[in-house]
Amino acid sequence: MSASNLHTPALSASNTADPSPESFTVVSPAASELELEPTFPNDAQFKVIPRIPECWGHRGASASYPENTRASFIEACNAGADGIETDIHITSDNVLVMFHDPNLERTTNGKGKIDHQPWNGVLEHVRTLEEPHQPIPRFTEVLDILMMPENKNVKLNLDCKVENPPAKLFTLVKRAIETYPGWQSRLAPRIILGIWHPKFLAPAQEILPYLPRFAISMSLEETRKYFWKHVHGFSILFQALASPEGARFRDECRAAHKDLCSWTVNGREEMLDCVRWGIRCIISDKPEQWREIRRQILKDPEVLKPSIATHVLPWLSKKYYRFDYERLASEETEYLEREGGRFADVVVPEIEMRIAKPGDAL
């Protein structure tokens, strides 16, 4: 099914609009503020094809369709994405919905917090501001897409938002997954839990022991301190992984056999860097662009050879400067701790790292 053929529900114009962000002047700091990991030292490493990362569509194919909608998820699958990355919330009547923000205003004609409103009669009528106007999808609708024969190998990375009560969230997720015929072999092995806050770790293991856990973070320091022993992989902000500290972290993951993903990777050079690093997965708004780059790499591995653009482009973008991504990480941690409590106050018991077979959980 083509996303372009999806039914578009009627929608009247919204009266809400986001204010324009304030303009700012970028003042280039000293060179030491821009930390970039060196590329491969010699050409010999480009003679063979390295490990090719998977690509998971960030909120679906969100560069093409409204983010976190059924149309976006289907388009990601049609574009050849290996997986879908999406966000999950609980409504006031205990329906699981795929939505990024805790509030509705940024992307829809709705208002207020998701967890304060019911699906039935309210949220089911909300539509995206971006065209083609789409409803908010429920978790079961995403699982239905994964169960389509043509999507039998597509993975699902669930970004578990901190606003959700962990035990309640995972209980509802478990209940939904286990309603599908053959879920043990056809569905569960393709689902990954993405976790921002350490208070989600123990409930995830207790309730969904058959799903791997990935820590999502912008801070490598916090990732090591609070998550390293308790997760099977990591989903890390690209800019943090591109630094010398990021190179050390990548080496540590490789040595410990921990999977590593990077987000949000939309530029050609960023995608090529992820291949050079040998990570498991690129999380991108543009899976179709990645498919073309992947095709080029398979045809000629020397595409990976660093160019002038590889070295110059990061200097031209504020986001690569350490002060900028560390500021983002600090702001994110402040929000996570305001919503979910201090990381340091969470006592995580020794939890099982073996991923259970789904049948063991019955």
For the full predicted model, state whether its pTM sits above 0.85. yes
Radius of gyration of the chain from Cα atoms? 20
Q: What is the pLDDT of residue 64?
A: 97
Q: Which of 138, 193, 114 is nearest to 160 (CA)?
A: 193
Q: What is the pLDDT of residue 48?
A: 64
Does residue 261 surpass a pLDDT of 50? Answer: yes
Q: What is the pLDDT of residue 47?
A: 60
Q: Who has greater pLDDT, 16 or 226?
A: 226
Instruction: Tell me how far CA of residue 281 lies from CA of 55, 288, 296, in angstroms.
Output: 6, 15, 18
Rounded to the nearest integer, the mean pLDDT of the chain is 89
Does residue 361 surpass a pLDDT of 80? Answer: no
The residue ranges of every structural domain in the chain are: 43-339
Does residue 15 surpass a pLDDT of 70? Answer: no
Calculate mean pLDDT across residues 16-44: 38
Percent of the chain surpassing pLDDT 90: 81
Alpha-carbon distance of 244 to 356, in angstroms, equals 35
Alpha-carbon distance of 166 to 348, in angstroms, equals 14
Q: What is the pLDDT of residue 45?
A: 57
Calculate mean pLDDT across residues 239-250: 96
Q: Which of 296, 281, 295, 288 is nearest to 54 (CA)?
A: 281
Q: What is the pLDDT of residue 39?
A: 44
Task: Please report, for the chain, how many H helices and E strands are present, in that order.
Answer: 12, 9
Q: Which fold has domain 43-339?
A: TIM Barrel (3.20.20)
Does residue 31 surpass a pLDDT of 50? Answer: no
In which element (H, E) is residue 201 found? helix 201-207
Calculate mean pLDDT across residues 265-276: 96
